[in-house]
Amino acid sequence: MSAITSIETKLKKALEPSHLEVIDESYLHNVEPGRESHVRIVAISNLFEGLNLVKRHQLIYAEIQDEIAGPIHALSLHTFTDDEWLEKNKNAEPSPDCLGGSKNDT
């Protein structure tokens, strides 16, 4: 099972989200083709109600420890309650451009 599929399965079970996106953004970075290393997660769940961002992120980290210890190098987390998601017009900010190293740098 791919890391993306594993993350999606675990978060659907744990968060009972009304909306979930687990997106492989590895192609935007200087990594080998096919490698799942950079992941963007947009999770909308009322389980986040009353939790600050740190607690929301810790909730996600606790569920996907194996993937973080393995192939996942970077996470972009966007966590909202249903009401917050509606206030944002069902839109999460895009991930920033990669500023990391390049094979072409000298």
DSSP assignment string, 7-67? HHHHHHHHH--SEEEEEE-GGGSSS-TT---EEEEEEE-GGGTT--HHHHHHHHHHHSHHH
74 occurs within a structural domain: yes
pLDDT of residue 104: 44
Helix, strand or coil, per DSSP, at residue 100:
coil
What's the whole-model pTM score?
A: 0.82
List the chain residues with pLDDT less than 70: 27-34, 96-106
Helix, strand or coil, per DSSP, at residue 3:
helix
**83, 48 Cβ separation under 8 angstroms:** no
96 occurs within a structural domain: no
pLDDT of residue 92: 85
22 occurs within a structural domain: yes
42 occurs within a structural domain: yes
CATH number at residue 29: 3.30.300.90
98 occurs within a structural domain: no
Q: In the 8-state DSSP scheme, what is residue 90? A: S
Q: In the 8-state DSSP scheme, what is residue 89? A: T
How many structural domains are present in the chain?
A: 1
pLDDT of residue 38: 79
Question: Where in the sequence is the domain holding 38, given as residue range(s)?
Answer: 3-87
100 occurs within a structural domain: no
26 occurs within a structural domain: yes
95 occurs within a structural domain: no
**19, 81 Cβ separation under 8 angstroms:** no
pLDDT of residue 18: 97
